[in-house]
Amino acid sequence: MLSSNLYKAINEQINAELWSAYLYLSMSMDCQAKGYNGIANWFYVQFQEEQAHARIFMNYLNSRDAKVELLPIAEVRTSWDSVLDMFKQTLEHEKKVTGLINNIAAIANEDRDYASINRITWFIDEQVEEEESAREMIAAFEAVEGNKYGMYMLDKELATRTYVAPSPLAAE
């Protein structure tokens, strides 16, 4: 059985993952409106990944006989000055999510809830990848800043990104 603190933190994390999805969908739509269809695709894949993260947490709560309580999703920003600004916000946001995930891990450790520790370990590893990916995108867009051909090539490259269901959802 989950402690009340852990249960609350996981329900709040579901909301945070859905808010993240909504943020990345907003970034995708802003890119698409500005003609950056490949970058829009990159953010749309992020949108799908965040939805999957929420589903993993929801499935976990269900597996522990705990009720998922969906909370309202707060408003997100809808436009950015540049793609580079989007990726800088992405990195800052992912760092915040890492903190939330680490908090869940700390609660699970304090509770000696080994099943939850096992599940949250996947998210800890995922956050390392999320932050690294955002840093790589920042470096790429800083490298081509002011170069229209470079932006065009990056946009084309990011159009090839595809969604892959995360391993905890592979059986679905």
Tokens in use for 47? Answer: 């949108």
In a domain, 130, yes or no: yes
The total of structural domains in the chain comes to: 1
In a domain, 170, yes or no: no
Look at residue 1 in the predicted model and tell me its pLDDT: 87
Cβ neighbours of 63 (radius 10 Å): 10
* Residue 13 belongs to domain with CATH number: 1.20.1260.10
Contact 84, 141 (CB under 8 A): yes
Domain coverage including residue 70? 4-165
Q: Spell out, as residue ranges, where the chain has pLDDT lower than 50.
A: none
Look at residue 172 in the predicted model and tell me its pLDDT: 65
Contact 41, 159 (CB under 8 A): yes
Distance CA(60)–CA(146), nearest Å, equals: 46
In a domain, 69, yes or no: yes
In a domain, 46, yes or no: yes
